Amino acid sequence: MDTKVINVQADFPILNQQVNDERLVYLDNAATAQKPLVVTESLDKFYHTDNANVHRGVHTLAERATAAYEAARSKVKNFINANEAAEVIFTKGTTDGLNMLASTYGEQNIHEGDEIVISIMEHHSNLIPWQQLAIRKHATLKYIGLTAEGELDLVDAAAKITNRTKIVSIAHASNVMGTINPIKELANLAHEVGAIIIVDGAQAIPHIAVDVQKLDVDFYAFSGHKMMGPTGIGVLYGKHELLDQMNPYQFGGEMIDFVYQQKSTWTQLPWKFEAGTQNIAGAIGLGTAVDYLTDIGMESVAQHEQQIVDYLLPKLVADDAIEVYGPKNPQKHSGVIAFNLKGIHPHDLATALDMEGVAVRAGHHCAQPLMEYLGVVATARASFYLYNTKEDVDSFLNALTETKEFFNHGTSKAK
């Protein structure tokens, strides 16, 4: 594995602990990633030396805070290769960004009889806003299905995206299936019929290089906490001409140009969509996380995680006691692996793994329509990031063995 990536473990002090008398193996990265010291230190620095509100203030602390906040926006702009910094809107996270789009672009552009197309693998955050918009507007919500291998069915996508489609909203990478979707091809299908494409990038942006211009996406939403930034901060990228046409999402300080008694005018992008005091420290911390990932290199991150999947996935697939959901080919699989141990409820499995120091998630993963599609109530999920190692994988596999033995024989290893 890439030694440059492996060596970052020392940057994450939270990993240097024991859980239930075992070395912590953190495999819940799809839910949230751990934070390197440089990120937490950047928060401390802001609060200890530069804490002030941004913009409009003319005193020194306000100017320093504003410079750091806007520098973070520029870092994100470069990280995703947006055309300009004004196309980067700070949000609370992916969910906030997608809801913003449904409440602004969707409300303005969806009418009775229009179609919105998503996929059956979507996280609730990229499903419910469109579901509720379709209900309000008497529009039709359509779902793209999956192939037998657990990949997005492009033939079905081409059939579902029609001249009545106005919005296509798709996850770049599934938070359950481990599937990486062909966003560029979907963007082409959407644009051919005059629709826009919105991408939920929460599970992709931390793990692979994303170029919004090459993908030709109209909007791209992601969360800071999944890419080692603070919680409560995220980004909505949008093409300038589309953002410019949209109504504000919220009203108040920062987003106004001038307020009269009976009407108001709005300021320019990106601040038109950043009402009130934003998560200034969070944005600065996100900028530091972007620096950290940029220094390592997203190609190195992707290569490291691919090596983990190449090592682990065939072992899980070959085990008759384990059911793996999503593509079985490691080359078509991200570092998110959903699975079940046959005959054991996922919650019991996750609890047993935790007793071995291995942190995984269990449940429907905010994807209940997908669970129904797969014919299960819930799954366990192990998800990997750049600080996970082959040793972590081996610990996970050993914990699975211990769990099978416990449930099959009623015994577990002595603590």
Note whether 291 and 306 are same-domain residues: no
Inside any domain, residue 280:
yes
Query: Can you give the pLDDT at residue 414?
Result: 37
Query: Can you give the pLDDT at residue 406?
Result: 86
* Average confidence (pLDDT) per 10 residues, the chain, 415 residues: 64 96 97 98 98 93 97 98 98 98 98 98 98 98 96 97 98 96 98 98 98 98 98 98 95 91 94 95 98 97 96 96 95 95 95 97 96 96 97 97 82 41
Note whether 288 and 301 are same-domain residues: no
Structural domain count, the chain: 2
For 224-247, write each residue's pLDDT tens digit: 999 999 999 999 999 999 999 999
Please tell me the pTM assigned to this model.
0.95
Question: Which residue type is seen at 200?
Answer: D
Note whether 181 and 107 are same-domain residues: yes
Note whether 150 and 289 are same-domain residues: yes
61 part of the active site: no
Note whether 359 and 216 are same-domain residues: no
Cis (ω within 30 of 0) for the bond into 270? Answer: yes
Note whether 349 and 367 are same-domain residues: yes
Inside any domain, residue 114:
yes
Note whether 399 and 336 are same-domain residues: yes
Inside any domain, residue 86:
yes
Task: Give the CA angle between residues 304, 308, 314 to the nearest 5°.
Answer: 145
- What does each C-alpha distance from 121 to 69, 94, 114, 137, 272 come to in angstroms? 35, 16, 22, 23, 32
Inside any domain, residue 71:
yes
Dihedral pair phi/psi, residue 180, rounded to 5°: -100, 120
Question: For 172-302, where are the E strands, in sequence order?
Answer: 196-200, 219-223, 234-238, 256-259, 264-266
Inside any domain, residue 415:
no
Query: Can you give the pLDDT at residue 3?
Result: 43
Note whether 120 and 234 are same-domain residues: yes
Note whether 276 and 340 are same-domain residues: no
Last residue of a domain, one of 295, 316, 336: 295
Inside any domain, residue 33:
no
CATH number at residue 103: 3.40.640.10
Domain range for 75 is 40-295
Note whether 107 and 14 are same-domain residues: no
Which of 8, 366, 376, 397 is flagged as catalytic? Answer: 366
CATH number at residue 369: 3.90.1150.10
